[in-house]
Structure 1
Amino acid sequence: MAIIIGDLHGNITKAKAFFAHKREEIHICLGDYVDSFTEPGERQLQCLQLLIESQSLLLWGNHDLHYLPYPLWRCNGFQLGMAPIYRDIFAKALETGRIQAACAVDGWLCTHAGVHPALMGRDMTADEAAAFLNGEFPRQLAARGGPLFYVAAARGGTDPFGGIFWFDPFREGTEPSRMVGRQVFGHTERKMPHVTDHWACIDTVNSPQCWVFDTCTGQAVRI
């Protein structure tokens, strides 16, 4: 069983509530740890440090990746003043493997933005998909791009579909892949979590309420 939270964007209050909920379970964060338009930079840094130092599983988001030394994109909200500090933290996380591209628990594949049907060429379990994505991530990052990093027109890019950091099932008008088990992801903001029988989008960054996803029940919970 795992408790999963979507995009935090420096909200340390939500981060603390997340860690306090069912402490005995695995906790997974789906990326986008900084770049808030409302949280002060110091609080965002405190939130990031809390996450890095925790026992939770951390995944890369598009807003985290653009602080690496050779970014593939620049997102809205990039914080020039904090960039040197964030760059050091994220570069070390990349080097040590502290942050991953994907993970799987209870048959749920976790990524930042979800898996588009065109990304995977065959059926596989959530665990197999996570292993594949984590294997491809460093290779495609070193190659300065690849399908994992695609950005579709719906999100301002030119690629045929969104990769695991940019896929948007709502704007792209495409259901997440059914070839990789059930999926839970963030990235695309909703007023409330959007949960179906085989996928859940749980980015509620601008909600005053803190929502998490419970893999045991397959439901979102307000905490």
Structure 2
Amino acid sequence: MTTPPKKDVFVLGDVHGHYDEFTIMLQAAELADSKLNWKGGNSIFVQMGDLIDRGPQSEKTDLLADKLQKQASEAGGEFVRLIGNHELEIIMGNFFISEMSKETAQKYQKKLIEGIYSGKYKAAYHQRGLLFTHAGACDKLLNILKMQLGSLTEAKVASLINNIFTNCVKHSFFKHPIFNISISRGGRDKYGGIFWEDLEDLYLSFPRSPVRQVVGHTMVDEVVVNPDKNIIATDIGLHRSIQYLKIHEKNIEVYTVS
């Protein structure tokens, strides 16, 4: 019996409502066809959170993601949608951070919460020995999680973070360290949690991450694969440049769409 080939994994940083650039990337990676239907077969696509806000077409971008997520699942693939700080603030009822009207944000809040319970939206994901979160897990947070886990693996960390996140949303309790906001981002903590950590703070929090991480949130000029820190940064500002990761087996390539 032949072993089926492993699925390719595609990763895109923050989108922020930039619908046109989002569709260009999906078509360039051959994940969507000319009519913007799923074309990726059993491929995995990971969007790193902050799909909405700032850009001109948040609602249209979100609806496309809904459609493609459903079609990908039906084709045996995955369209992974991570929660970013912009989604989180809407979940928490802090609608002022969003460019959406209050009425639209309230409807989106309900949709997000229902999607978290159903598994449509995740706080963390793991694949190919990589831990995916919006802003990254600093050394302090990983040590806290390690006390519960005993040892750290990308799969165990992702599972625990998702359990913590879902329970916190269920009880409207947002005091766990995964929700910390770093001082550099206007918060009270030296290091932030997985939604509000600054990339430089994440780098400074440890000599080298004990788990290999992929993050968005902090804008960089180009996708940065940093083996010294064991961290890959993907938020290139989609309105400025279109770059994405493709992971085949263990080979990670950065693609730029001209």
Please list the CA deviations of residues 16-48 of structure 1 after superposition, one character each: whole Å capped at 9, or x if unmatched.
Answer: 233331424210111001111x41xxx221101
Alignment of 1:130-141 (within 5 A): 130-141=158-169
Choose from 80, 85, 88 the match for 2:101.
Answer: 80
Aligned length: 216
Match of 2:36 in 1: none
Question: Counterparts of 1:136 and 1:178 in 2: how far apart (Å)?
Answer: 21
Q: Secondary structure at the match of 1:187?
A: coil
Match of 2:254 in 1: 220
Matched, 1:60 2:78: no
The list of structure 1 runs, each at least 4 consecutive aligned residues, that deviate by more than 3 angstroms after superposition, is 73-78
Q: Is the 8 A contact 1:149 1:162 kept in 2?
A: yes
Distance verdict in 2 for CA 1:162–1:171, change over 3 Å: same
Match of 2:59 in 1: 45
Matched, 1:125 2:153: yes
Offset at residue 192 of structure 1 (A): 1.3
Choose from 8, 21, 24 the match for 1:14.
Answer: 21
Q: What do you get for the CA RMSD once the two structures are aligned?
A: 2.2
Q: Is the 8 A contact 1:105 1:215 kept in 2?
A: no
Runs of 5+ in structure 1 lacking a partner? none
| Structure possessing the higher radius of gyration over alpha carbons | 2
Choose from 213, 235, 241 the match for 1:183.
Answer: 213
**Which stretch shows the higher mean deviation, 209-218 or 184-193?**
209-218
Offset at residue 14 of structure 1 (A): 2.6
Q: Is the 8 A contact 1:59 1:112 kept in 2?
A: yes
Match of 1:159 in 2: 189
| Identical pairs, percent | 24
Q: Is the 8 A contact 2:139 2:209 kept in 1?
A: yes
Runs of 5+ in structure 2 lacking a partner? 1-7, 31-39, 70-78
Query: What is the letter of the counterpart of residue 22 of structure 2?
Result: A
Could you say which structure has the higher helix fraction? 2
Q: Secondary structure at the match of 1:52?
A: helix
Question: Counterparts of 1:220 and 1:44 in 2: how far apart (Å)?
Answer: 25
